[in-house]
Amino acid sequence: MTPLATSSWLQALPKGLQQLSEQHLLRTRRQVAPAQGAHITVDGQRMLQFCSNDYLGLSQHPALVEAARQGALECGVGAGGSPMVNGHTAANAELEEALARYVQLPRALYFYAGFATNASVIAALVGAEDAIFSDALNHASLIDGCRLSRARIHRYAHADLRELERLLASNPQQRKLVVSDAVFSMDGDVADMTGLLALCEQYDALLMLDDAHGFGMRGPQGRGSLAAVGLSGANASARILYMGTLSKAAGVAGGFVAGSESLIEWLLQRTRSYTFATAAPGMLARALLVGLSVLEQGDGLRAHLQAQIVRLRQGLEPLLAATGWQLLPSDTPIQALVIGDNAQALQLMEVLRQRGIWVPAIRPPTVPEGTARLRIALSANHTDADVAQLIAALHAGVLAMQQDLRPEPAKP
Ligand SMILES: *Cc1c(COP(=O)(O)O)cnc(C)c1O
């Protein structure tokens, strides 16, 4: 065979990568391994990390690890097929019942990934004739799910219920779906769920809430953001599709939806990432079943974490005053320190890294232009000393940066 000429658009890729690099938008992966507590080894170096979604430390919990081991003996390590054919194990069925009980909704459906859940359930609910109303800061998986449905998408400014109401009032489509993160993943704030629900009631819309960061964390016994505002059972399932991920506080992997009996049955029938994907391995369902009971009894862990959140916010006040940076309002473990400039956010991350602390800088397009930030994620693994160390390192880092940024003295 004669040598092929490289396709012209493949030839253009190095230039595209170069541009990303010049805009400080090139992402790199580090090889990591968990170490003790809130520590992690990054490229072989032991670091104190503030980046995990494993809020309560369940991913390393001995009881979950043991349950996964036993689950592997029971079910093997892979499911071998779609839940519609041969992948729906007893473990997966038990997990669905336990999830529904835990979030206090009639029925739940367990998916292999949270992203795939969002990317696919929306298309099972609405189509080209219908309308979606979507918060501007919704997670990428929801945005993709909305696009895939072919429904008309109306984006409202973050948390702006007035704009949402205006859009709902001016769109007479029969089927309307309002989609929102319950806890916003890059800002850490919480949606006004009762306000959203009231609008959905008024305009006969269905409300889909993505509680990736609230499930296991908020409300009594960690039952989630709905339970936190007193919504459960028939009252919630009348108009809400609840979605949670099992990869964050629950410490494992997967996603689920919960809601009324017929809504969940419909999604089971019609969601393509459910029927055409291999089921989540039963060994993970076994780990998650134990994880749910740890979450249910996790008030002590959650209280400890809440105290760290308060400690961090108080400790950063002088820094905010000195720099003009903004710590976004949040009572969740997601604490966003907005720097603004991409290069400066990266520089601060680097200064912390040199001090053995790992906090990711988040840049556009993950967050809006001009709002590059350090996304500090706290967990129950953090001790008082860990948080104090972060606060001290940030103060020292700012001094180092200010020296770096000082203009060169004018030459005589
Ligand atoms: C992480 C996340 C997801 C995706 O869940 P995975 O389990 O990681 O696939 C969906 N929505 C939000 C808001 C998230 O933060």
Domain residues of the chain, as ranges? 27-56+298-403, 63-296
Rounded distance from Cα 131 to ligand 1 centre (Å): 23
Distance CA 229, CA 233 (A): 13
Answer whether residue 407 shows pLDDT above 60.
no
pLDDT more than 90, % of the chain: 86
Distance CA 85, CA 289 (A): 23
CATH topology of domain 63-296: Aspartate Aminotransferase; domain 2 (3.40.640)
Testing ligand 1's pocket by substitution, the residue of 247, 256, 288, 367 carrying the most ligand atoms inside 8 A of its CB is 247
Q: Is the CB of 260 under 6 A from ligand 1?
A: no
| C-alpha distances out from residue 134 to 73, 151, 167, Å | 43, 12, 11
Q: What is the pLDDT of residues 13-27, one digit of tens each?
A: 999 999 999 988 888
Answer whether residue 371 shows pLDDT above 60.
yes
Mean pLDDT of 219-223: 97
Beta carbons within 8 Å of 141's beta carbon, 6+ residues apart: 114, 115, 116, 117, 118, 119, 210
Q: Is the CB of 181 under 6 A from ligand 1?
A: yes
Distance CA 339, CA 316 (A): 13
Residues marked active site are found at 185, 213, 248
Q: What is the pLDDT of residues 280-297, one digit of tens each?
A: 999 999 999 999 999 999
Atom of ligand 1 nearest to the CA of 181: 13
Q: What is the pLDDT of residues 51-91, one digit of tens each?
A: 999 999 999 999 999 999 999 999 999 999 999 999 999 99
> Could you give the angle at the alpha carbon of 248 between the alpha carbons of 242 and 252, nearest 5°?
105
Q: What is the mean pLDDT of the chain?
A: 94
Rounded distance from Cα 113 to ligand 1 centre (Å): 8
Concatenated DSSP letters for 87-140? ---HHHHHHHHHHHHHHT-SEEEEES-HHHHHHHHHHHH--TTSEEEEETT--H
Rounded distance from Cα 245 to ligand 1 centre (Å): 6
Rounded distance from Cα 395 to ligand 1 centre (Å): 32
> By CB neighbour count within 10 A (0-12 exposed, 13-18 middle, 19+ buried), where does 169 fall?
exposed
Homologous superfamily, domain 27-56+298-403: Aspartate Aminotransferase, domain 1 (3.90.1150.10)
Answer whether residue 123 shows pLDDT above 80.
yes
Testing ligand 1's pocket by substitution, the residue of 121, 189, 215, 248 carrying the most ligand atoms inside 8 A of its CB is 248
Rounded distance from Cα 142 to ligand 1 centre (Å): 9
Q: Is the CB of 332 under 6 A from ligand 1?
A: no
Mean pLDDT of 373-400: 95
Whether 152 and 318 have beta carbons less than 8 Å apart is answered as: no
Bridge partners of 46? 41
Which residue is closest in CA terms to ligand 1's atom 12? 212
pTM across the whole model: 0.94
Which residue is closest in CA terms to ligand 1's atom 2? 212
Sheet order of strands, 32-34 included: 32-34, 39-42, 45-49, 357-358
Is 63-296 the same fold as 27-56+298-403? no
DSSP helix/strand/coil, 179:
strand
